[in-house]
Amino acid sequence: MSAVVIDTNVLLVADGRAEHMSAECLIQCVKRLERVRENEQVVLDYGWLVLGEYQNKLNPTGEPTPGNAFVKWLLQEDQRVDWVTITPTNAEQTTFTEFPPDLELEKAFDPADRKFVAAANAHPEKPPILQSADSKWLGWEESLAAHGIRLEVLCRGELEVIRNRKTK
């Protein structure tokens, strides 16, 4: 069974909580989460940094929206979680031993997103990171790939348009 790391924005888009993304993107995220539930492992860290962010932004005991329901499912289906250790190197828990040793990535990368990269890098299979609403990741894709970390970018066309608007 293959594994994936899921950026929180995939869950938020599935819940309709990313106004800058289209209804088509929402549907794509919902369908991708369904595929994960059917036959994939979700990579989470033992320190609950990823799951903690999910719980901070979503409510697994609240309204059964796609994102909330997915987090609830994760909490109930431990056998579908592939746990990894990521080692914070600062008090804020935003830098990690498992983050690729790449000065350009370290400088550019959003501190709140580093845990996803560290989790993917800590896993023996280096599973892809699902991403759907943050166009900055497109600019890091090549550098991450140089370290064996892959992105599965949902709604890529929309993100490219957003990124092009921001760089003009």
Q: What is the mean pLDDT of each run of 10 residues along the chain (168 residues)?
A: 96 94 96 97 98 96 95 94 97 96 90 97 98 94 96 96 82
User: Which candidate, 3, 26, 5, 6, places its Cα nearest to that of 155?
Assistant: 26
Contact between residue 132 and residue 155 where contact means Cβ atoms under 8 Å apart: yes
> Per the structure, how many domains does the chain have?
1
| pLDDT at residue 1 in the model | 85
- CA angle, 4 as apex, 154 and 86 as ends, to 5°? 120
| pLDDT at residue 84 in the model | 98
| pLDDT at residue 125 in the model | 96
Contact between residue 44 and residue 54 where contact means Cβ atoms under 8 Å apart: no
User: Which candidate, 31, 27, 8, places its Cα nearest to that of 16?
Assistant: 27
Alpha-carbon radius of gyration of the chain: 15
Q: Show Cβ contacts of residue 9 under 8 Å, excluding neighbours closer than 6 positions.
A: 18, 131, 132, 133, 134
| pLDDT at residue 167 in the model | 74
Sign of CA dihedral 122, 36, 12, 167: positive
| pLDDT at residue 168 in the model | 63
- CA angle, 151 as apex, 149 and 154 as ends, to 5°? 170
For residue 63, the enclosing domain spans 3-167
Contact between residue 20 and residue 133 where contact means Cβ atoms under 8 Å apart: yes
Query: What is the signed CA dihedral for 148, 55, 28, 30, rounded to 10 degrees?
Result: 130
- The DSSP output letter for 93 is S
